Structure 1
């Protein structure tokens, strides 16, 4: 924790009315209740306001489309990691499936509300952590700052209801529980983060640091933490099939997690998203840098959390914008701690700068066009017009949301060309092709197309490296069984030969 240079930094001076001088102090429980009763509505309103742009479009990015199609497949009897596949853990596909079951599967509005709730929970966990370390004002500061900077990226990354947004409440809760010595709950929170996205495991680093530096015996806390982490993951692995779970979440992504190929493209993306995050955190970075220059800050666990999260961003060498969301919670706590030992005007400046940056990013989300979405909508309308509700189609591209918008079932478990060519990893050069596919994917893909040929094939590659003419297996399949029908917005439609 940050060094406290004087007792006065923890005191709060207030004026006391004559009628209040002899009034007994509120019981601690009452004071706690009053604190959160006042703070929670403010943070809830701010969470909704900062995520207003998320309701503007039916979809923000292909990850949302992928999850929506997965949820429909699961609801139709699909099996996760067998007939429904992705490289991600299962919690979010299951959440989408549950929300669709309750609210219908034609709109992501309920998921948008769930994402706002996830951001609120993250803010509350950070506020509780800051309050326990530095007092009431710090708690309010951390909660407000987090929500202001949580949208400081490209809206396609910050406003989408995808993995990182739902992972962050678990990571923040893990650090909060560890700070309170609740080791089993800290382990369970880490497990929840890992089962939402693998990189959520970065939260285990600060948890273990706090455990190691606690007074007293360590054996029991270590066991409780490890059991809390291991049991949920083992249960999910058993439920989905241990070998399949391990393959799809860990071992089956060797080609994806590689820096070879498209180095300049990937580095440019990384630098761009770093600059965007720095702009969104314009109110946080100056106090952190200032305190680093004038004092020892302590808070080693927070620095380790930030470092581990940075490692998670680097993992796989893709630098997608939504990866950077994982950096925001530790940055917020470090800035909050720094502001406790700086003059009050620094806090005002940090809040104002964060509010201004937030306003710019919210305006960007409200005003920026989405040409890819318009293309997908035109494609989906054409697919719907040319097929019946019970017919299966194959959309060969990187926009799985086409299936969801068209209301048509995919002909394959592989919802994008990425798992079959490695293109979804952001590659645009030599690391794209059949030989870079997930192990065994082309074998399963050929079997699916042979057993149940799609009524319609849509080649949405539009000149990209995964075009069928560069893939012998797909090229031969189309040439032997399908006729070219038409072109819609650059995508080539094929129908079965008669």
Structure 2
């Protein structure tokens, strides 16, 4: 009992000296709990504003490139009862067409602003996931640098490639999410192997169902899972289930044979660069040069470390970059928007390199910000030549046809259908399906024998069953014009006569 007062006295004596320390401990505890919350509360608004600013030019035009026009026309056909991979066809997986269809169902099909807003959200999610990945590996500052740096790099291409709301933009959140989930299996406190493996597989499937080349992220994911030994077996099982289940579900929903044909086996001629290697090489060098200029602030530090053979061992990031480069080269088209897939691993490699080169940080940040401003001005002031042509042709179509009539546009601008408000007479929205023409390959391997297998038979049945009220020959001297494509020439000669022109496109109406 005598000890109690002594203890109380000692405790009381110590209380004054512990008050400050007690408050410090409590403050540190609160900071430890609230730290992540405060971090994201500060960072996410910055990323949101930056995502909106960098994509501001996308809202200033009705359409940026034919891919947007194709998706808009495709979505409207689906909304009016079309069946994907049957009466509505494309060589791409179904997630983005369904996204467009859903946006049109909610907001109407008169504008693409809902899809442009969705693209801003996709870029914000991608940047936030990159920030989370870099923060987990290297700390708060690295996370903020990765998120902000990615958004500044994301417009480092020609505006029609960086501002359009198309496949690559919606693919990137899936690819980064896959790596983030796989990364949870490494480090001192790894998460449950089956859960994170399944989530990584689900994200890889989402990327592949957005665009086939999104599946390239399976390489770094598999590498990270392999390094998660001794739990790699459970992680691999989760990855397999998460990846295969969505693919099988989608295949069953749209028809396994049609799904496999349109996304994998039916594009043999299209992915060949035979006879067009110089065209492919020129486009590759041009777009690589543009992206290199935009990304010099993050590329040069990484190159410097490699040249000096200094320790730079983020092997999964290099595998991610290599897999993305293979995906960009697949098909030998080398369109600029393909290069967007390189940006997430480049941003992370840049952050990793700059951590080892403190003196390079300010010059790298200054160059990246300056380049982003230059590309933003380019997007705001870019000429509208091709899209102006599409607008003129669409206006001519609308004047010469009634709303319920069908139209056949023989060209590579499917946006003419959407802009004119007229339904296409065929499921093949561009002449490329029937001739194998592609701007990425020039005039090589163009002709009826290179068409999608069975396409001409189906095309003839469609136009015979419901002849288009108007045919627009928009070939304008390209190698898929009527002089070189007998099937199209015979269609014109059988029942159509020349009526007018619109900015170089020739309009044919049915004979009385």
TM-score of the aligned structures, taking structure 1 as reference length = 0.95
Q: Which residue of 2 aligns with 1:160?
A: 164
How do residues 161-200 of structure 1 correspond to structure 2 at under 5 angstroms?
161-181=165-185, 182-200=196-214
Following the alignment from structure 2 to structure 1, what is the Cα–Cα distance between the partners of residues 164 and 345? 21
Q: In the alignment, what sits opposite 1:3?
A: none
**1:291, distance to aligned residue in structure 2 (A):** 2.4
What SS is found at the alignment partner of 1:469? coil
Aligned to 1:232: 246
Residue number in structure 2 paired with 1:107: 111
Closer/same/farther in 2, CA of residues 354 and 444 from structure 1, 3 Å limit? same
Residue pairs, 1:397-412, within 5 angstroms: 397-412=411-426
Match of 1:211 among 190, 215, 225: 225
Which position in structure 2 is the counterpart of 1:303? 318
Measure the CA separation in 2 of the matches of 1:161 and 1:143.
20
Distance 2:33 2:495 in 1: 72
Equivalent residues in 2 for 1:18-417 (5 A)? 24-25=27-28, 26-181=30-185, 182-292=196-306, 293-343=308-358, 345-417=359-431
Q: Which runs of 4+ in 1 moved over 6 A?
A: 17-20
Distance in 2 (alpha carbons) for counterparts of 1:196 and 1:470: 35
Separation in 2, partners of 1:393, 1:112: 27
8 Å Cα contact 1:418/1:425 also seen in 2:
no
Does the residue aligned with 1:384 lie in a helix, a strand or coil?
A: helix
**8 Å CA contact 2:283, 2:440 repeated in 1:** no
SS across alignment from 2:97: helix
Which is further off, 23-32 or 321-330? 23-32
- Computing the radius of gyration from Cα coordinates, the structure with the larger value is 2
| 3-state SS in 2 of match to 1:84 | coil
Report the 3-state secondary structure (helix = DSSP H, G, I; strand = E; otherwise coil) of the residue aligned with 2:430: coil
Equivalent runs, 1:471-482 vs 2, <5 Å: 471-482=485-496
CA distance in 2, matches of 1:46, 1:294: 35
CA distance in 1, matches of 2:238, 2:420: 48
> Is residue 282–residue 357 contact of structure 1 (8 Å, CA) maintained in 2?
no
User: 8 Å contact 2:73–2:417 — kept in the other structure?
Assistant: yes
CA distance in 2, matches of 1:373, 1:302: 38
Query: Which one has more relative contact order, counting CA pairs under 8 Å at least 6 apart?
Result: 1
Q: What CA distance in whole angstroms lies between the structure 1 residues aligned with 2:32 and 2:470? A: 66
- Going from structure 1 to structure 2, the CA distance change for 1:425 and 1:375 (only over 3 Å counts) comes to closer
Measure the CA separation in 2 of the matches of 1:357 and 1:147. 12
1:339 deviates by 1.3
Q: Which moved more, 1:19-28 or 1:225-234?
A: 19-28
Note the alpha carbon deviations across 1:309-357, whole angstroms, 9 max, x for none. 00001111111101101011001111111111221x4222221111000
Q: SS where residue 494 of structure 1 aligns? A: strand
Q: 1:23, CA displacement in angstroms?
A: 5.4
Matched positions, count: 481
